[in-house]
Amino acid sequence: MKKIELGIVALSHSVTQSHNYAVVLGEENGSRRLPIVIGGFEAQAIAVAMERMTPNRPLTHDLFKNAMDTFEVELQEVVINNLLDGIFYARLICMKGGELIEIDSRTSDALAMAVRFNCPIYTYEFILDAAGVILEDSDQPGMDDAPKKVKRKRKPKSKEETTLTSFSDTDLNKMLDEVLADEDYERAAEIRDEIKRREEG
Residue-level pLDDT, tens digit, the chain, 201 residues: 899 999 999 888 765 566 688 899 999 988 899 999 998 888 889 988 988 888 888 889 999 999 999 999 999 999 999 999 989 999 999 999 999 999 999 999 999 999 999 999 999 999 999 999 886 554 444 434 333 333 333 334 444 444 777 788 888 778 877 766 666 666 767 777 777 788 876
pTM: 0.68
Cα separation of 11 and 18, whole Å?
A: 14
Identity of the amino acid at 162: T
Cα separation of 8 and 28, whole Å?
A: 10
DSSP character at residue 161 = G
Helices (H), 21-124: 40-50, 60-70, 107-117
Please name which of 38, 57, 103, 43 lies closest in space to residue 77, comparing C-alpha atoms.
Answer: 103
Which residues have C-beta within 8 Å of that of residue 201, sequence separation ≥ 6? none
Distance between alpha carbon 115 and the CA centroid of its chain, in Å?
A: 7
Other Cβ atoms closer than 10 A to 193: 13
Cα separation of 191 and 54, whole Å?
A: 14
Cα separation of 7 and 193, whole Å?
A: 23
Cα separation of 149 and 53, whole Å?
A: 14
